[in-house]
């Protein structure tokens, strides 16, 4: 995305983007970003315009989802969409973190070394291989 399409103006962050077949302006309020990040008041005050632009750039998919839901709720022909506190929902985020917390296998699956014939076999792939020919030789009918 181009640098000039995400910009800050006062306490709002503005994005011009193509949504649902039209170029629309999205206005994300500072309160919406702070509410999404669950920031304490002292950190929220320290957030600069560049920080808010970076948040929007990194979470553009969230902003797009919120804008689409605002379009469905209100005027679908609107050129400007305002995203306020609580409009960016965490349920719209992609799964983060490890889904499986522990290893499924509780114990080692391999058994100790087994003996096949006179040598130990520790892996199925190293077991005795086929010794003979795959096809038996038939006598040639022409001879």
* Predicted confidence (pLDDT) per residue in 111-135, tens digit: 555 666 666 655 555 555 666 666 7
Residue given tokens 């969409």 in the structure block: 81
The rounded percent of the chain whose pLDDT value lies above 90 is 6
Q: Could you tell me the residue ranges of all domains in the chain?
A: 3-92
Q: Is the pLDDT of residue 27 over 90?
A: yes
In order of 18, 90, 95, the CA distances from 99 in angstroms are 33, 17, 8
9 confidence band (pLDDT: 50, 70, 90): confident
**Residue bearing the bigger pLDDT, 68 or 97:** 68
Which of 53-57, 72-76, 81-85 is least confident? 72-76
- pLDDT score for 75: 79
d(CA 69, CA 83): 10
CATH number of the domain located at residue range(s) 3-92 in this protein = 3.30.160
Confidence band of 109 (pLDDT split at 50, 70, 90): low
Lowest mean pLDDT among 25-34, 66-75, 120-129: 120-129
| Range 133-141 contact pairs with CB under 8 angstroms and sequence separation of 24 or more | none
Torsion of Cα atoms, 92 then 26 then 12 then 63, to 10° = 10
Q: pTM for this structure?
A: 0.57
Give the pLDDT score at 130: 62
Top pLDDT among 47 and 129 is at 47
Would the pLDDT of 97 be above 60?
A: no
Residue 22, pLDDT above cutoff 70: yes
């Amino acid at each position: 995305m181009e640098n000039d399409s995400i910009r800050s103006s006062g306490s709002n962050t503005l994005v011009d983007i193509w949504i649902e077949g039209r170029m629309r302006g999205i206005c994300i309020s500072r309160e919406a970003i702070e509410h999404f990040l669950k920031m304490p008041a002292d950190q929220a005050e320290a957030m600069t315009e560049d920080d808010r632009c970076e948040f929007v750039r990194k979470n553009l998919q969230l902003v797009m989802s919120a804008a689409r839901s605002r379009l469905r709720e209100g005027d679908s022909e609107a050129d400007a969409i305002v995203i306020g506190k609580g409009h960016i929902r965490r349920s719209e985020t992609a799964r983060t973190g490890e889904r499986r917390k522990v290893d499924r296998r509780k114990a080692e699956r391999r058994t100790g070394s087994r003996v096949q014939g006179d040598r130990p076999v520790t892996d199925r792939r190293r077991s005795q291989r086929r010794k003979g020919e795959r096809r038996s030789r038939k006598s040639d009918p022409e001879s």
